[in-house]
Amino acid sequence: MRTQVGIIGAGPAGLFLAQLLGQMRIDCIVLEGRSRSHVETRVRAGVLERGTIETMQALGLDGRLKREGIIDHGLDIRFRGRTIHLDLPDLTGKSVMIYGQQEVVKDLIASRIATGLPIYFEAQVTSLDRLYGDRAIMRYVCVDREHSEELSVECDFIAGCDGYHGVSRSAVPQDAARIYDHAYDFAWLGILARARPMADMTYSNSDRGFALCSRRSMEISRLYLQVSLDEGPNARSDAHFWDELHSRMFDEARTEIAEGEIFQRDVAHLRCFVITPMQYGRLFLAGDAAHIVPPTGAKGMNLAVADARMLASGLFEYYWKRSRVGLDAYSERCLRRVWRTMRFSARLTELLHKLPSHMPVERELQLAELEYISSSRAAQTSIAEQYVGLPYEDSCDIFRDG
């Protein structure tokens, strides 16, 4: 096979990029190692920044989003039994939307299949060759076949959107990149419950540890507890989970948090990770293949969309304007947003968690900062502005010119 752009991975970065390129009439092929069912049911964050919403609207993918998405106007932070309420429209003039990442992925896949453009599931990329040659090559096997021969795709460029453990990141030689990596010494136990969610996204910093109440719909709650690294998803009973959540949310009367059937559990280990540069020859990294932010603030998918837009903009300039400026500057431009977003997510993580490494003085300084935020509109505005999303640096003309 031969294509202009080979895309590895059918997560948000790869699918948004494919959708953008399709609109620009740039040929691309998407290869995904997992099944369609697996990709569409992976539970991830569900907070869409304004820029992500506008991207879906511009691509004509907002039909179900309009019907099922929940506009979120507020963000609450609790500590010492008090609540800091951030009124997002009042502080920023913007809001966010609750719509699960897996729902976004379903919409993107359905759109690509409906247009008949190539997307292959259970197609595991095994190696990347000639990344500094005239044309790059993706080699892959079909994992659903018992004896599958290795196939290949010739590409002008490859977009590595296959996550932290994918083949794309490992294709970059160690001496050609710099890695920034920090793993936190705690994890998040997350559950999905059939229970009425709280009115606003609510973070809590308690002496027992961090907790988060969010939602996936008006009937489904997504809830988290900070746990030790060695705790498994089924280590505590349902009753123990609810008791701990009520306590950490300062809901002693058990009147705020509705309980319900817990039907899914998972444990997420938190880390900060960045590889720089995000490009190597004809290979461009995007999404989790290039960076991972802590889930505090729900920025992972939104950063992937920003990468896809930036790469699509560079490819548009290359194919339609005969300019390499955008491609050559891809990494530099993306990383400006990545580091600013990383700063926000890491700061929020350190502000809201009772860290195992905390000395007593560090704990008191953390609570003092929360006290300051509770009385400062400027501090609240700073958090709200970053939460609703930074402006894009790419040219929005790509939606019109494409």
In a domain, 81, yes or no: no
Please choose, from the candidates 392, 212, 207, 186, the residue with its C-alpha nearest in 3D space to the C-alpha of residue 297.
212
The long-range contacts involving 63-66, CB below 8 angstroms and separated by at least 24 positions, are 63/107, 64/103, 64/107, 65/97, 65/99, 65/103, 65/107
Integer Cα distance of 9 and 56 in angstroms: 19
Q: Both tokens of residue 195? A: 């229970």
Domain at 200, CATH number: 3.30.9.10
69-96 mean pLDDT: 96
3-state secondary structure of 389: coil
What is the spatial distance between Cα 289 and Cα 9, in angstroms, rounded to a whole number?
10
Q: What is the pLDDT of residues 177-193, one digit of tens each?
A: 999 999 999 999 999 99
Do residue 246 and residue 281 come from a single domain?
Answer: no
Read off the pLDDT of each residue in 369-395 and give the average, rounded to a whole number: 92
Residue 78 lies in a domain: no
Domain-terminating residue out of 239, 269, 299:
269
CB atoms within 10 A of CB 190: 20
Which H/E stretch holds residue 336? helix 330-352
More confident residue, 135 or 402: 135
Same domain, 255 and 138: no
DSSP state of 145: S
Compute CA 236 distance to the chain's CA centroid, rounded to the nearest angstrom: 27
What is the percent of the chain where pLDDT is above 70?
A: 97
- Considering the domain architecture, whether residues 246 and 175 belong to the same structural domain is answered as no
Task: Pick the last residue of a domain from 209, 240, 269.
Answer: 269
**Residues 168 and 242 reside in one and the same domain:** no
Within a domain: residue 85?
no
First-to-last alpha carbon distance for the chain, in angstroms, is 25
- Assigned domain for 313 exists: yes
Q: Would the pLDDT of 342 be above 90?
A: yes
Domain stop point among 269, 292, 318:
269
- Read off the tokens for 165: 């453990």
Of the pLDDT bands very low, low, confident and very high (cuts 50, 70, 90), residue 46 is confident
Contact 318, 306 (CB under 8 A): no
Which pLDDT tens digit goes with each residue over 26-44? 999 999 999 999 999 887 7
Domain range spanning residue 147? 2-72+92-181+270-401
The count of domains in the chain is: 2
